[in-house]
Amino acid sequence: MYREITKDLLKWKDKSRRKPLLLTGVRQCGKTYIVEEFAKENFDKYVYVNFEGNEKLASIFDYDLDVARIIKELELYFKIKIESGKTLVFFDEIQECPRAITSLKYFCENMRELHVVCAGSLLGVALKSENISFPVGKVNRMQLYPMSFKEFIIANGREDLIETFDNWPSDRVIPELYSESMQKLLKDYYIVGGMPEVVKTWIETKNIEDVEEIQKEILEDYADDFSKHAPISEVPKIRWIWDSIPVQLAKENNKFVFSHVKEGKRSADLEDALQWLDDAGLIKRLYIVEKPEVPLAGFADKTYFKVYMSDVGLLRAKSKIDANTIIEEKDLYIRYKGAFAENYVLNELRANAIEPFFWRSGNTAEIDFVYESEGEIVPVEVKAADNTQAKSYRQFCKKYKVGLGFKLSTKNIAENMCEQTKTYSLPLYLAWNMDNYK
């Protein structure tokens, strides 16, 4: 299946000052698959070194970190000649061999011409361990997310829609010929999400029960990870937080409240557990900025945030929202509709390398997302329906005199001025293409 990150992998392959690549991403988002496909298409040879449950491979790194010796022993083990420029070496589940992580420094310094990629489940958690000597400055890094909506559309055989909307003018109303297909695909995406195995099953079967079975398995695997990889004292707290996320997102004021996780619990009791979920890539914290100035990160309040899930399909499965409830937009869906739209847009922004915040002024005004672009602040208002009369958006634009902003909703495309702000009203299904409207 097509993944946008392939373009970045190709750039990395041809960089003159390339370093070993560290590929991070939530478990089961397709890291191993994408590296294998990349290797098949761009290298003569591929060496797959999986450290999980393989102490023999890990022992190769025990003696010393001489990369020439390590490569020689890997050649003997796999019975293959490893040649720079022709071979991709992939260290998978590298967190199981901390010395392999440390060795990346020496691959960078002494064998930079060799293409080395490493990845692993819960690598973000492992890298926080005091037992791992991380090679700071000696690796390139990339983040792989679950499949974006654009990738989902292409996987469903509708690349023609991507081509259609790639340069769609903001003054041309989108006809039903295209909008109906995109709206249906977006509902499907809310149901299925972007986990590659789930998407593959959906494409092959179009069976909701098959989809939900795999989503359930993924959620169970995540829960098993809590017990296997988290500190024992944190496991119950991690479960409490994990189970509370859909409910907290569905609240009108969906600020994350620790006391709503477990009665009587405070931030000091649960912060480590929340950080573990964040490091694992299962959640994303969205921090508030009350004073939206550049750099936004410098004005963020790390004590006030919302929590979203890494995949909207898993959010639906965890919320136990029936697929037909979304398809037919039944009353039960109204409670979660806004949460799904926000979680979806956040994940689309992050897939486009945008790290947003949100803005709130007291309890009277809020902008769902604000981010930096070329030194300017860009507000993004998200509406799950066709109501785009956003008082908060107008207030924000007037107060901070921003030049560009977006409203995402179920309404058709339009361009107008809000105060002095050029504002693009886009259908939610075009969130992937916001970059084209500037």
d(CA 370, CA 299) in angstroms, rounded, equals: 12
pLDDT 10s digits, 323-364 = 999 999 887 788 889 999 999 999 999 999 999 999 998 777
CA nearest to 125, candidates 222, 217, 53, 248: 222
Categorize the per-residue pLDDT at 140 as very low, low, confident or very high, splitting at 50, 70 and 90.
very high
Q: What is the pLDDT of residue 124?
A: 83
Q: What six digits make up the tokens of 244?
A: 């509370």
Among positive and negative, which fits the CA dihedral 321, 322, 325, 326? Answer: positive
Tokens for 156? 């469903």
Instruction: Identify the H or E element spanning 402.
Output: none
Confidence of residue 388 (pLDDT cuts 50, 70, 90): low
The 3-class SS string of 1-40 reads CCCCHHHHHHHHHHCCCCCCEEEECCCCCCHHHHHHHHHH
Reduce the DSSP state of residue 263 to 3 states and report it.
coil
Ramachandran angles phi, psi of 309, nearest 5°? -95, 155
The CA distance from 342 to 380, in Å, is: 10
| Predicted confidence (pLDDT) at residue 378 exceeds the cutoff of 90 | yes
Per-residue pLDDT tens for 10-67?
Answer: 999 999 999 999 999 999 999 999 999 999 999 999 999 999 988 999 999 999 999 9
Looking at residues 82-90, what average pLDDT do you find?
Answer: 97
- Helix (H) / strand (E) containing 246: helix 235-250
Q: How far is CA 41 from CA 32, 199, 297, 358, 435, in A?
A: 14, 22, 39, 41, 29
The Cβ of residue 204 has, within 10 Å, a number of other Cβ atoms equal to 9
Residue 385 pLDDT > 90, yes or no?
A: no
Domain boundaries of the chain, sorted by first residue? 5-143, 149-436
End-to-end CA distance of the chain: 30
**Given a cut of 80, is residue 81 above it in pLDDT?**
yes
* Cα four-point dihedral sign 245, 249, 255, 257: negative
Q: What is the pLDDT of residue 223?
A: 95
Residue 125: per-residue pLDDT: 87
Residue 195 confidence (pLDDT) above 70: yes
Which residue in 104, 100, 110, 158 sits closest to 136, CA to CA? 104
Fold of 5-143: Rossmann fold (3.40.50)
Residue 194's nearest CA partner among 175, 179, 211, 217 is: 211
